[in-house]
Structure 1
Amino acid sequence: MFSSYRAEDVTILLKDITGCIDPLPTAERERLIQSGHHYSEMLPLEYEPTEKYLEAYADALARYAGITAQATARLAEQIYAEKGADAALVSLARAGTPIGILLKHYIRQRFGADVAHYTISIIRGRGIDANAMDYILARHAPAAVQFVDGWTGKGAIQRTLVEAAAPYAGLSAGLAVLSDPAYVAEKCGTHDDFLIASSCLNATVSGLLSRTVLRADLIGPADFHGAAFYEELRGKDLTYDFIDSVERLFPPAAYPIEEAAAHTSGLTEVERIAADFGIADINLVKPGIGEATRVLLRRLPWKLLVHSTTDEERLGHLYQLAEEKGVEVAAYPLRNYLACGLIRTLADN
């Protein structure tokens, strides 16, 4: 286990590439991505949170742990009703992994079942880790597999998953997430765009693992996709602080949400935002609290769009990051989301 996750909580189907790849500064990485290099071939420098930002994270966790616990319970009830004790949770690294652990713990607490849980890599534009899928399907029936992630942005990973699952007979590409403001997931805890506190940090709330890497000189034909382990951050690890804080607030039972009769898709809203701001590539538009947080943490942000510039309770950590990085915060009539990050187009500089 090259992570700070407990062995009984998750089987990590990733190759350890610690020390094999030098993280790149944000500006250099952004330049490479926008010039055609794939993001999975490089790693960003991990954001070292300031004391003020860690205070914002702690405040966010205190405010939203209960809502996160309720969403976890609603989602777990749906998964168990369909899959039962034979369920194999397959969380998408890295944001899905702590959510998969929460689901596993709720199912054990509520139903007394110890369901399997794996974490694997899926990469937009490159697909799912086929070797990891072969490993899982050698041990579980395709119908038992439930893919898990934290939230949906504009649905890019769900679309990647649909393509990736097609070759596997009997395998559902349906995604289970806590928050689905894009209205693309098969199962969700809520469609509200709420703050899942784990989105506020990178490796330090994700088992000290990097995001996943797929590069020919590091990952051979028989290898799993790779990830690095940040041992040097162990003293700052908040992974189980997040998991335990949510788990303490699990309800005894929960029921599925009522689906909205009509809604606008997340992709439709993203296309509207792109048109309004003259953005040709919708990959530079990152909707939702989780995605906006990622933009501020590891991309070159241009603007932060928010439904309100005074919503400290729900968006305080984003205001803090934007202030630290000198990013404009602008009110915009968002519908599905509370926030949206816009990435700077380097070709315009």
Structure 2
Amino acid sequence: MRSVVYTKPGDSSVLTLEERPLPEPGPGEVRVRVVVSGVNPTDWKARAGGTYGDGLPFPEITPNQDGAGVVDALGEGVEGLSVGDHVWLYMAAASRPTGTAQEYTVVPAAQAVRLPDGTGFDIGASLGVPAMTAHRALTTHEHGPSRLAPGALTGRTVLVAGGAGAVGHAAIQLARWAGATVITTISSDAKAALATAAGAHHTVNYRSEDAATRIRDIAPDGVDIVVEVSIPQNAGLVAEVLANHGVVSIYANNGGDDATLPIRPNMGINARYQFLLLYTIGDDALRAAAEDVTAALRDGVLPVGEAAGLPLVRFALEETAAAHDAVESDTVGKVLIDVTTE
């Protein structure tokens, strides 16, 4: 089979396309023929040394956590999946060398989730890191909810920072599905159009508007949940617009590793700052996210494509290095790699 691998950390030039033997699933694992591989910032950051440093824990690693495809073989003891099932994959390369930038991959069965009938592989490959991160970000408020479903966020206001990104797109869609009023900050009219297409009720251009005033006009009592991509840049704004007992769910370090928080404004509203990383949130949270995201898919939520607010940018498997570069350079939309035919 064709497999993209790297044997040392570095820039995208360390990625090479090789022929490798077909892997066999062990107990509790499934083999999946990958149709589409999804690329996220975590993928290029891991390849560049952000996860493992100067050394690798495996002789070679195939990158990319997310993907979608067809179950091809079952390991001993696997229940609930059958050969031929269409599935979406998450955390395929988490503490494993078995990412989705290859024609076949082997993953724990729990990390291969059956796609609802009629849900395409492009959607499946766009879930994983973005949708599960968004789910966690929306379920950290001290008063709940801990799960998402229609009505779970009724009466709440959610602010999504950077609504044109993949996590922002998923957060907008999941929050609206769960009944929240959704505000998002964006930096251009084009990104406002994407966020609106995703389902945001209100967009605020933080470059041309007084963002705090606009958000307070929309939500006089403040916002209950902030899905935050850049707390170093947004700490002041967040403190101005957060509601009493509001939570700021921080899932990225865009803007730097250090942030300064204004203490008195946050203290006065009993603010909560919840950091989150998908790889360490625990099996219960991952399971809840996988179940709720799949339920949203059954309701027709989380579509992709420009009309749905998330343009698709496609590459061939042999162009995986270029796909990584596209994500690293902040290409707008979802970067996908076509691996095999449907």
- Report the TM-score, using the length of structure 2 for normalisation: 0.28
Bigger strand share = 2
Q: Which has the higher contact order (CA 8 A, sep 6+)?
A: 1
TM-score by structure 1 length?
Answer: 0.28
